[in-house]
Amino acid sequence: MLRKITLFAGSVLLAATAQAQTKWDLPSAYPPSNFHVENLNQFVKDVGTLSNGKLAITVHNNASLYKAPEIKRAVQGNQAQIGEILLTNFANEAPVYALDGLPFLATGYDASFKLYQAQKPFLEKKLASQGMMLLYAVAWPPQGIFANKDIKTVADMKGLKWRAYSPVTARIAELVGAQPVTVQQAELAQAMATGVIDSYMSSASTGYDTKTYEYIKKFYDTQAWLPKNAIIVNKRAFDALDPATQQALKKAAAQAEERGWKLSQEKNTWYQQELTRNGMAIVTPTPALTQGLQKVGEQMIAEWVKSAGADGQAMIDAYRK
């Protein structure tokens, strides 16, 4: 009888352990080769280890679960408990999401991290108002222009069929006289192959991931801005975790943020070397092009401050301290 009770108790314990494991889905719009996804995979492993297996997260990369513009809404509605978003994709929703996409506001990694610290309290407040939390954010490498055309001044950008992946990149197109075409990263190679676009502004990372060198032969290294991907979590899903698992998630997130920024910087050099190896020229912009793009940036920063009001000015002031 005692043996039966022991066996029964053991079964109950196993069942309780199985029930105690929480399973989350994490959609990302980027391919497995992308450094953000590599970082995500390590983050997920760390969450599993630090939570003693209590929280299991499945990464769904390459827009296989939700397309890039759909991920934030999916997390907000708890269809996905956690997700990776490009902040500038949501610039039309609130000015805080546009900040790190403003050209020539923060152009290097140190400046970009400083901008993130100025932005973070306002970003956390906005996400909280939408039922979400920020876990961590990592910058993409600096943005440049992919084009076959010789671009020596901003005037040379007129008429380009320009891939716009966010309101910010669409606004740049308007200001330089290019034709914006909305294309997400997962569809980028096809858009180039079919001639839907002939140029775009992004990082060397995107150029490598999408094999842009098969279609476009020049990368103008303008280092215009470093947009960030943010890992956001549904607040109700987070609150449903026990305190120890919440702490495990936060600790893994802090590690992923630190690792991700270092990885971005290291991989930027590697991505540019790979582009060159595959026949793409890395072009240093002419002073005239840089100057013209900086004017575009100044106009966009002024427009942004006007739309963002007191909060926007507070973020800019904190950054420029």
Condensed to tens digits (0 to 9), the pLDDT of residues 87-120 reads 999 999 999 999 999 999 999 999 999 999 999 9
The alpha-carbon radius of gyration of the chain (Å, integer) is 22
Tokens at 207, concatenated: 């150029």
Q: Supply 36's token pair.
A: 């953000």
CA 13 to chain centroid: 41
Taking the C-alpha atoms of residue 183 and residue 185, their distance in angstroms, rounded to an integer, is: 7
Per residue of the chain (321 residues), what is the pLDDT tens digit? 544 444 444 544 444 444 579 999 999 999 998 999 999 999 999 999 999 999 999 999 999 999 999 999 999 999 999 999 999 999 999 999 999 999 999 999 999 999 999 999 999 999 999 999 999 999 999 999 999 999 999 999 999 999 998 888 999 999 999 999 999 888 999 999 999 999 999 999 999 999 999 999 999 999 999 999 999 999 999 999 999 999 999 999 999 999 999 999 999 999 999 999 999 999 999 999 999 999 999 999 999 999 999 999 999 999 999
Report d(CA 204, CA 224) in Å as an integer. Answer: 13
Distance CA 84, CA 134 (A): 10
| Beta strand spans in the chain (E) | 22-27, 55-60, 82-86, 132-139, 144-147, 161-164, 179-182, 199-202, 218-220, 228-234, 281-283
Report phi then psi at 184, rounded to 5: -85, 165
> If you count DSSP H runs as helices and E runs as strands, how many of each does the chain have, helices first?
10, 11
CB atoms within 10 A of CB 313: 12
Rounded Cα–Cα distance for residues 64 and 270 (Å) = 27
What predicted TM-score, i.e. pTM, was given to this entire model?
0.86
Give the three-state DSSP class for 23: strand
- Residues 6 or more apart whose Cβ sits within 8 Å of residue 229: 36, 84, 85, 86, 87, 137, 138, 140
How far apart CA 168 and CA 28 sit, in angstroms, is 21
Contact 220, 147 (CB under 8 A): yes
Phi, psi (deg, nearest 5) at residue 162: -105, 120
C-alpha torsion angle, residues 120, 122, 123, 127 (rounded to 10): 140
